[in-house]
Amino acid sequence: MDFRNCLRASAFGALLTLLAVTPVAAQPFASEGTYEIPAGAGFNKEKLTRIADFFRNEVETGKISGANVLIRQQGKTIFHQTFGVQDVASKAPITDKTIFRLSSLTKAITSFVAMQLIQDGKMKLEDPVAKYIPSFAKVKVGVEKKAADGSKTLELVDPVRPITILDLLRHTSGITYGFYGESLVRKAYKDANIYAGEFDLAEFAERIAKLPLHNQPGALWQYGHSTDILGRIMEIVSGKSLYEIEKEKLLDPMGMVDTNFFVTEPERQKRLAQPVPNDSNFRVGREYRTEVRQKWESASGGMVTTMDDFSKFAQMLLNGGTLDGKTYLTPETFKTMATDYAGPGSGVDRDYFYFPGDGFGMGLGLAVRTDPGNAKPPPPGSLGELKWDGATGCYMVIDRKQDMMFVLLEQTPSERQRIQRTLKLLVYEALKS
């Protein structure tokens, strides 16, 4: 099936902004010469040591409890070191079996399995969400109106078209979060107390369907609970819970034994990484306690993993959907996932909260590098790069041009953007043509 042609024929057409970063110690990390390095570049071993120096300093100065960093190129490990401890209380060292909360990197796993279900014909990108969850047929769009006295009211209007599976995957559904921004729709999310009590994905979808959309479907890239609604549809089309279908389609075949939504077993709880004590608030509007089993399997931010597990997923993405002789996505479906659906001609606007960042478009569950960006010099990387990260600091970059990927696992909500940015600079500074 040609998904892109299908999209062209349809009626509607085809927390991780790149911020300035404080350099480690007093060393300058410039990005000149690190954008679009010619394919086939290798790594300078001496420059790779700067990565270790940076993370040791982060641990020694008490900014983070620990981290695990892996770089692979052409299937070989180029750099792999752990730093610090799982938990400053237990002082247990970080290992490849240490369990980290993925937060929004969960979205990458959910979206990948959704693409597998699309590949299997269980659902289509152009399918309306209301086909599976009828409550969304009644959803309204919130439009802010400003009175002469400056006060604002929210007018509810009909959507110009239905929300689709495509909208959920590229975050253009109008579904938002209530913990950032000042719009009246986000305030409605906050006031609705959508995380109250015990609920599963089915109930959560009904709660979201009662709220107004932040914008018209397809009009604006809008971070929010789109992936949770996608997860509910995955349950409906598979007849299984989200974890069961992810386990069947991806986790078990790939041997990702510690990737789950909960860490309730005593042995696994001993391996759960914690941020430094003054950095324990994950700042995502709710407390999703992975140590306590609950009904809600958060498709947008609830999974945990280890480097043993997640490195397999990242390598499979680098390989274009295959690993160890198994095909998880065909080349055609993988290309569909890795294509920008929020660029020129898509009708999708970008505002201050466009988290894919400078130079990036939006694929189906992953940001995709489409241009140098506006910064001078441009952020490091290659065209076609795929990436995503999460509020806890975990970070993944897939550079297929260089046949290279790197993964950072850490737990630091407040330091994550600075650390991710610095790590990327250091990785590309170490590449040599």
What lies within 8 Å, CB to CB, of 115 at 6+ separation is 329, 333, 334, 336, 337, 364, 365
Better-predicted residue by pLDDT, 151 or 25: 151
Which pLDDT belongs to residue 19? 28
Which pLDDT belongs to residue 18? 30
- At 193-233, the pLDDT tens digits run 999 999 999 999 999 999 999 999 999 999 999 999 999 99
Which pLDDT belongs to residue 278? 86
Q: Tokens standing for 320?
A: 């274009």
**CA–CA separation, 101 and 109 (whole Å):** 13
Query: Considering the chain, what is the average pLDDT of its residues?
Result: 90
What does the radius of gyration of the chain's CA atoms come to, in whole angstroms?
21
Which pLDDT belongs to residue 228? 98
Judge whether residue 60 has pLDDT over 90.
yes
Judge whether residue 377 has pLDDT over 60.
yes
**Quick one: DSSP state of residue 385?**
-
Find out whether 51 and 430 touch, Cβ atoms under 8 Å: yes
- Cα 124 to chain centroid distance, Å, stands at 22
Which pLDDT belongs to residue 147? 84
- At 385-424, the pLDDT tens digits run 999 999 999 999 999 999 999 999 999 999 999 999 999 9
Does the predicted TM-score (pTM) go above 0.85? yes
Judge whether residue 25 has pLDDT over 90.
no
